Amino acid sequence: MSDIHYHVMLNASSGTALAGGVTAEAIVAKFAEMGHRISIDADSSKPFSQRLRAAGNSTAPVLVAAGGDGTATALAKVASETGKRLAVLPLGTANLLARDLNLPLELDQWFAALPDMVEREIDFGEVNGQVFLHKVVIGAVPGIAAVREKIRGNSSWGARLGFMTHFFRALSRVRRFAAEITTGDGEPTIHRVHSIAVANNDYAAGLGKVFTRTRLDAGFLSLYIVTSLSPGDAIRLGLEMLLGTWRQDGALEIENVRSVTIRTRRRRVRAMIDGEVGMIDGPFDFRIHPLGLKVLAGPVAAEASEAIRLEATG
């Protein structure tokens, strides 16, 4: 992938960038060493919407999200609307999309792998006009995640202990709420839940596979309804995720759908969209955009996806 123009949007406050001191100058130097043309936006003082418009108006055919999953999601909307390709330079804390795309997580290794990356079409989800690449969660989890944001970049044991203390205290206080869920053209059903997650494609179940997906192009959303989330439930589910047995847990209801609408009594609800927490107005209308986004992926991931596709079609 030589002689390509890349437009990079850097989130210098993302997890790895903040901890490792990754700078715009370092990224520019890496691209320059490979002979690529590059424009970079590292000005966090600009309104985010302005930075996204600049990315969309760029003449670069490839937009590089240099940050975490939230940065990738924001640029994905621009890429899907303009037909540009999205490259993910993982500088976040979880880097879930980069892992699913089989991308190296270290800066030097990522640039070493860049010439072998291949274009791939993947699905993306949408809720009330907002794009998501991984999952949307409403209920107990977003409130807990909001505290995590306050300690981002602080890896001290004191900060970690404080978060875990808050985590279990919050779970012990959380209350279930009523949610009306309508999938596709079906009839609405009422559920008493602690949390609801809607994922872009399904999570894999297997030893050590935690929040990983083997397919990003299956063309469906996965609905996860958590009916009980006490501290004991959280510990049990965590262990089951590590062991790969979580899909059989009695506190979970799982369904694959093309679309789903979720209503609650509250007009505005705190939600976590691809790791970013904010308020969103209900009802929540989810839908899937099959193969709506072009991304750069590791060749192994692309070959595996093609093999699965051929197997499914016979």
Average pLDDT of span 265-273: 90
The amino acid that residue 79 corresponds to is: A
The secondary structure of residue 104, as a DSSP letter, is -
Check the CA dihedral 213-216-220-225 and report its sign: positive
pLDDT tens figures, 2-56: 568 999 999 877 767 666 778 899 999 999 999 999 999 999 889 999 999 999 9
- What residue numbers bound the domain in which 12 lies? 5-116
| Strands 221-226 vs 276-281: parallel, antiparallel or unpaired | unpaired
Is the separation of the CB atoms in 92 and 16 below 8 Å? yes
Do 159 and 245 reside in the same domain of the chain?
Answer: yes
Same domain, 19 and 167: no
Does 298 map to a domain?
A: no
Q: Is the pLDDT score of 123 beyond 60? A: yes
Q: Indicate whether 102 and 187 sit together in one domain.
A: no
H helices of 205-290, in order, are: 231-243
Residues 150 and 100 in one domain: no
Instruction: Tell the residue number behind the tokens 């270290």, with chain if given.
Output: 106
Instruction: Return the closest-CA partner of residue 22 out of 92, 122, 78.
Output: 92
Tell me how far CA of residue 13 lies from CA of 28, 57, 71, 150, 195, in angstroms. 18, 24, 11, 12, 28
- Percentage of the chain with pLDDT > 70? 82
In a domain, 215, yes or no: yes
Q: Do residues 253 and 279 share a domain?
A: yes
Residue 213 resides in a domain: yes
Same domain, 12 and 49: yes
Tokens of 9: 């949007």
Is 312 domain-assigned? no
Residue 304 located in a structural domain: no
Q: Which of 116, 151, 185 is the last residue of a domain?
A: 116
Q: What pLDDT does residue 299 have?
A: 84
**pTM to 2 decimal places:** 0.84
Q: Which of 116, 146, 168 is the last residue of a domain?
A: 116
Residue 82 and residue 24 in one domain: yes
Dump pLDDT digits (tens) for 131-147.
999 999 998 766 555 44
Distance CA 103, CA 97 (A): 9
Residue type, 313: T
> Does a structural domain hold residue 309?
no
- Distance, CA of 285 to chain centre: 18
When pLDDT is averaged across residues 296-311 and rounded to a whole number, the result is 61
The verdict on 93 and 216 lying in the same domain is no
The whole-number pLDDT of residue 143 equals 55
Within-domain flag for 310: no
Q: Is 2 helix (H, G, I), strand (E, B) or coil?
A: coil
Are both 40 and 183 inside the same structural domain?
no
Task: Work out how many domains the chain is built from and give that number.
Answer: 2
Co-location of 28 and 97 in the same domain: yes
In a domain, 193, yes or no: yes
Verify that 92 and 169 share a domain, yes or no. no
Specify the pLDDT at position 15. 66
Q: Could you tell me if 108 and 141 lie in one domain?
A: no
CATH number of the domain encompassing residue 155:
2.60.200.40
Quick: pLDDT tens for 54-98: 999 999 999 999 998 999 999 999 999 999 999 999 998 889 999
pLDDT tens for 140-184 read 766 555 444 444 444 555 545 555 565 666 666 677 899 999 998
